[in-house]
Amino acid sequence: MNNIEANDKKTINPVTSWIIRLVKGIIVGIGAILPGLSGGVLAVIFGLYDPLLRFLADLKTNFMKNVQFFIPVGIGAAIGIFLFAIVVEKAFGKYAAEFTCLFIGFVVGTFPSLYKTAGKQGRNAKDIVIMILSAAGIATLMLIGEQQLMNVNPSIAAWLGSGALIGLGLIVPGMSPSNFLIYFGLYDKMATGIKNLDMVVVISLTIGVIACVLLFAKLAAYLFRKHYSGMYHFILGMVLGSSLAIFPVIIVPAFAPEQLAATGLNFAGALLFCVILLIVGTIASYLFSKVEEKYPREEIF
């Protein structure tokens, strides 16, 4: 973008921009450890994925400018993870399906914008096929992996691996690291460790996330440069497939009689709760989209 083009567009107030990125970071942080969702999906939805990849793939270019841009995102992500472990965990313990609908709403409200972005450099039948196949693939994996695979004993190595899974979830939108942690019997222990600020857990997870992201960011950035349309439609399919798979995996089972009894809700009440939170999530993501239409997403490169 040249200076003339930049002057023709409205600029967002720096304080407002900082707060928006903080809120986005909080939501991405929650999504990073929320079963059934992916921090990478939410990063795509909120326009953070591309600039983050470019930054991590080339740390030397505009390093301080990039760091300043992502400081509120990082703070927000830490807040989101911590809040989930302390507060949101309790809500999801009893109302997992209902609150998951809130995050599905984020996808519903922004999917048209994501589809438009995916076709920015053109779209053909091959891209549509890629989107359909990736949607079917991630949905199938989530459905197959619904059953518990094994129990892994907590250790530094286990937490490093858990952090790597979370990092991979940021690089590969649609992958839900928390699902794998649940299968390995580590999810509840991770949440407890974060809630209690167990430094062995927190530091090991952080190292694992950073190592994984730095390792794969260059590859992902390269693929986007060479195959923008195909990669973006692949990610779009991952977003779509992972969102659809949440319904049979998390939401539908919540309407079983024993699950309804545990929440103290009847079928109608649970359905209404789901619909309300779905609408709230959709409206919230719609408002984010409106803000970013009025004030175009900041280019930090």
Q: Would you list the domain boundaries of the chain?
A: 3-294
Rounded Cα gap, residues 206 and 186, in angstroms: 16
pLDDT at 156: 92
pLDDT in tens, 172-218: 765 667 766 765 767 778 888 888 889 999 999 999 988 988 888 88
Confidence of residue 30 (pLDDT cuts 50, 70, 90): confident
Task: Please give the span between the terminal C-alpha atoms of the chain, in angstroms, as a whole number.
Answer: 10
pTM: 0.62
Range with the lowest mean pLDDT among 37-41, 157-161, 264-268?
37-41
> Each residue of 219-246: pLDDT tens digit?
887 887 788 888 888 878 877 887 787 7
What value does the mean pLDDT take over residues 92-114?
Answer: 75
DSSP per-residue codes, 258-286:
HHHHHHT--HHHHHHHHHHHHHHHHHHHH
pLDDT for res 228: 83
Which residue has tokens 């911590």? 82
User: Of 40-54, 61-75, 85-99, which gets the smallest average pLDDT?
Assistant: 85-99
Read off the pLDDT band of 300 (50, 70, 90): very low
In this predicted structure, the answer to whether residue 298 has a pLDDT above a threshold of 70 is no
pLDDT digits (tens, 9 = 90+) for 133-183: 988 987 887 777 655 445 678 899 999 999 988 887 777 765 667 766 765
Helical residues (DSSP H) of the chain, grouped into ranges = 3-8, 14-32, 39-45, 49-57, 63-83, 89-118, 125-144, 156-171, 177-183, 187-195, 199-226, 228-246, 257-263, 267-294
Query: Which residues, including other chains, have CB under 8 Å from residue 234's CB and lie 6 or more apart?
Result: 130, 131, 134
pLDDT at residue 132, rounded to an integer: 93
Mean pLDDT of the chain: 78
